[in-house]
Chains A and B, each alone.
Chain A
Amino acid sequence: AQRVTQPEKLLSVFKGAPVELKCNYSYSGSPELFWYVQYSRQRLQLLLRHISRESIKGFTADLNKGETSFHLKKPFAQEEDSAMYYCALKGNTPLVFGKGTRLSVIA
């Protein structure tokens, strides 16, 4: 079975502080992992995917197969990062999403 766990419903950080949004997955094969973001009053959009190994808006995420994790990180949070973040896995079915973490960046 494919499963994605985001243990934190809400994460509050101060502007300029480091951010880490946790994501753990369960899948027996080789997964594709994604982070999606939903800003206020906007549609769900792709933030980054593990196969690209890129940094988007200062965010990075590394797939750790040993720990089955795909945590999202940013060294210095900005107020505009406040949004809902969803980790998603694509195995042998279309995307399986976690329940999401709301990131609130406090000025």
Chain B
Amino acid sequence: ETGVTQSPTHLIKTRGQQVTLRCSSQSGHNTVSWYQQALGQGPQFIFQYYREEENGRGNFPPRFSGLQFPNYSSELNVNALELDDSALYLCASSRDRPNSGNTIYFGEGSWLTVV
């Protein structure tokens, strides 16, 4: 058990809609990252938060946004959903600051289907 929980586990949205995915990390895990894993692909880095501020971003458009809260929970928001956004979204957290070498723990992910 890694202590990283994500919700919902599965959801279906219509193209153009907005979605919010949630993640709850272990106490003390100040760094959280979000990844998108399309079918047959490895996870792709979306962005990272450290102490409630964005700390790095991958090659994703601005309609992908996030929040991190003081209680070690975080959100991934995607606006104007497109069919290609259909994927497994993974939350990962680690203790202390980014690049500190601490182990990164993954949640089980949220499966998003856009129709």
Instruction: Give the total number of A-B pairs whose CB atoms are below 8 A apart.
Output: 46
A93 within 8 A of B: yes
Kindly state whether residue A106 has any CB partner on chain B within 8 Å: no
- The reply to whether A95 and B103 form a contact with Cβ atoms under 8 Å apart is no
**CB closest chain-A residue, reference B45:** A94
B33 close to chain A: CB less than 8 A: yes
Do A46 and B104 touch across chains, with their CB atoms under 8 A apart?
yes
Nearest first, the 5 closest Cβ-Cβ pairs linking A and B are: A97-B42, A44-B106, A43-B108, A99-B42, A97-B43
Question: What's the minimum C-beta distance from B98 to chain A, rounded to whole angstroms?
Answer: 7
A76 to chain B, nearest CB (A): 27
In the assembled complex, A13 has its CB within 8 A of some CB on chain B: no
Minimal Cβ-Cβ distance residue in B for A45: B106
Contact residue among A4, A6, A43, A94 (Cβ-Cβ distance under 8 Å from B2): A43
Cross-interface CB contact of A43 among B35, B40, B99, B107, cutoff 8 Å: B107
Is the Cβ of A95 less than 8 Å from the Cβ of B40? no
* Contact residues of B: prevailing secondary structure: loop
Q: Specify the chain B residue showing the minimal Cβ separation from A41.
A: B108
Q: B109 near A94 (CB under 8 angstroms)?
A: no
Q: How many residues of A contact B (CB 8 A)?
A: 20
- 20 CB contacts below 8 A, A to B, read A4-B42, A32-B101, A43-B2, A44-B106, A46-B103, A46-B104, A51-B101, A86-B43, A90-B99, A93-B45, A93-B58, A94-B98, A95-B35, A96-B45, A97-B35, A97-B42, A97-B43, A99-B40, A99-B42, A100-B41
Q: A46: which B residues are within 8 A, CB to CB? A: 103-104
A42 to B104, CA, bound (A): 16
- Contact across chains for A43 and B106 when beta carbons are under 8 A apart: yes
Nearest B residue (CB) for A91? B99
CB under 8 Å from chain B, chain A span 75-107: 86, 88, 90, 93-100
Q: Is B48 an interface residue (CB 8 A)?
A: yes
| B56 interfacial contact with A, CB 8 Å | yes
